[in-house]
Amino acid sequence: MRSNIYLLMAQKAARERRRITLRTVSDETGISYYTLSAIAKETIREYPRDVLAQLCVYFQCNVGDLLTLTEVPDTPTPTAC
């Protein structure tokens, strides 16, 4: 998974003509700065559903805009009997 949080922050900052940082997002959403940092740095192991929902509302986007699947995991091929 690749996080697009920095891109969304830049787009929102341009729309609203103000500076937006991870601290700003944290303060305005109530999401922990450390959680936001882990999402932005792609070090988070699990994405809390409520956090994703809050971010989508804040950035006015869909989950697919926030996170992008960069590699499709290998799927086992069905074996014939």
CB-CB contact of 5 with 55 (8 Å): yes
CB distance 26 to 32 below 8 Å = yes
Query: What span, in angstroms and rounded, lies between the C-alpha atoms of 59 and 69?
Result: 19
Calculate Rg over the CA atoms of the chain. Answer: 16
**Does residue 74 have a pLDDT over 70?**
no
pLDDT tens across 4-62, in order? 999 999 999 999 999 999 999 999 999 999 999 999 999 999 999 999 999 999 999 99
Q: For the whole model, what pTM was predicted?
A: 0.82
